[in-house]
Amino acid sequence: MEPDKGKGFKVYKGLQRPLVFKSLKGKFIYWGMACMLFAFLAAVLLSTLVHALAGMVGLIVIGLGGMLFIHNQQKNGLHTKTRSAGNYIITPQFRRTPRP
């Protein structure tokens, strides 16, 4: 594909948007996969060591609890931001010296 004279290359505008899957965005997709995998492994362990009903309850509790946690974290945004309340005065470390 050659660029048009004076117009540049055609750019797909959706490249800067995060990936979305089942209302999970960006890194939270991986968090959701890890949560479901952990819930499944915990259910297998509980059902073999304790009882099948304990495994089923563990799967539901860990899976739903993890997904609710992930959805609450997603409301804060994709990137970790510090939101500090207050005014901060930053003093300069270096001062200009007058030229002779």
pLDDT in tens, 50-78: 999 999 999 999 999 999 999 988 887 77
Please name which of 72, 79, 76 lies closest in space to residue 27, comparing C-alpha atoms: 79
Residue at 70 is within a domain = yes
Residue at 97 is within a domain = no
Please name which of 43, 36, 45, 44 lies closest in space to residue 65, comparing C-alpha atoms: 36
Please name which of 34, 95, 89, 92 lies closest in space to residue 62, comparing C-alpha atoms: 34
Residue 84 has pLDDT above 80, yes or no: no
Are the CB atoms for 69 and 36 separated by under 8 Å?
no
Residue at 65 is within a domain = yes
Q: What is the pLDDT of residues 16-60, one digit of tens each?
A: 777 788 888 888 899 999 999 999 999 999 999 999 999 999 999
Higher-pLDDT residue of 15, 22: 22
Higher-pLDDT residue of 68, 5: 68
Residue at 1 is within a domain = no
Residue 9 has pLDDT above 80, yes or no: no
Residue at 28 is within a domain = yes
Q: State the DSSP code for 21.
A: E
Residue 93 has pLDDT above 90, yes or no: no
pTM above 0.95, yes or no: no
**How many domains would you assign to the chain?**
1
Strand (E) or helix (H) holding 58 = helix 52-74
Domain that residue 33 falls in: 19-74
Residue at 90 is within a domain = no
